[in-house]
Copies of this chain bind each other. A is one copy, B any other.
Amino acid sequence: MFSGTAYTQLTESLRRVHALGSVGELLSWDEQVNLPPGAAEQRAAQQAALAGAIHAAASDARIGGWLAELEKALASLDDDQRAVVRNARRDYDRATKLPADFVREKAAQGSRGYHAWAKAKAADNFADYAPVLERNLALSKREAGYLGWEGREYDYMIDRHDPGMNAAAIGRLFDELKRELVPLGRSIAQSPVRPRPEILRGFPVEGQRTFLREVTARLGFDYDRGRIDVSLHPFCTGTGSDVRMTTRFKEDEPLDSLFSAIHETGHGLYEQGLSPPDLGTALGIHAGMAVHESQSRLWENQVARSRGFWRCFEPRFRGMFPTQVAGVSSEDLHLAINAVAPTLIRVDADEVTYNLHIILRFELEKKLFAGELRVDRLPSAWRDSAQALLGLTPPTDREGVLQDVHWSDGSFGYFPSYCLGNMLAAQLWYRILQLRPSLEEDFTRGDFTWLLAWLRENIHAQGRRFDLLTLTRRVTGEELSPRHLVRYLRERYGPLYRI
In the complex, chain B residues whose CB is within 8 Å of the CB of A22: 42, 46
Q: Is A227 an interface residue (CB 8 A)?
A: yes
> Per-residue CB proximity of A38-53 to B under 8 Å, as 1/0?
1101110110111011
Residue with the highest number of chain B CB atoms closer than 10 Å, among A22, A34, A35: A34
Which of B46, B53, B241 contacts A38, CB < 8 Å? B241
Residue with the highest number of chain B CB atoms closer than 10 Å, among A15, A16, A22, A49: A49
Complex CA–CA separation, A26 to B42 (angstroms):
12
In the complex, chain B residues whose CB is within 8 Å of the CB of A48: 16, 19
Majority secondary structure, A binding face: helix
> Per-residue CB proximity of A1-42 to B under 8 Å, as 1/0?
000000000000001110110110011001000111111011
Complex CA–CA separation, A23 to B52 (angstroms):
13
Do B241 and A42 touch (CB < 8 A)? yes
Number of interface residues of A (CB under 8 A): 39
Residue of B nearest to A50 (CB): B23
Complex CA–CA separation, A56 to B16 (angstroms):
14
Shortest CB-to-CB span from A285 to chain B, Å, is 14
Q: A26-B30, A276-B42 are in contact. Are A35 and B224 (CB under 8 A)?
A: no
Q: A224-B36, A226-B36 are in contact. Are A46 and B30 (CB under 8 A)?
A: no
In the complex, chain B residues whose CB is within 8 Å of the CB of A223: 36
Q: Is A253 an interface residue (CB 8 A)?
A: no
Which of B15, B41, B50, B225 contacts A39, CB < 8 Å? B225
Do B57 and A53 touch (CB < 8 A)? yes
Complex CA–CA separation, A52 to B19 (angstroms):
11
Do A242 and B42 touch (CB < 8 A)? yes
Which of B20, B42, B226 contacts A49, CB < 8 Å? B20
Between A and B, 11 residue pairs with Cβ closer than 8 Å are A16-B52, A20-B46, A20-B50, A22-B42, A36-B224, A36-B225, A38-B225, A38-B242, A39-B242, A42-B242, A53-B56
Please report A residues at the B interface, Cβ cutoff 8 Å. 15-17, 19-20, 22-23, 26-27, 30, 34-39, 41-43, 45-46, 48-50, 52-53, 56-57, 222-227, 240-242, 276, 279
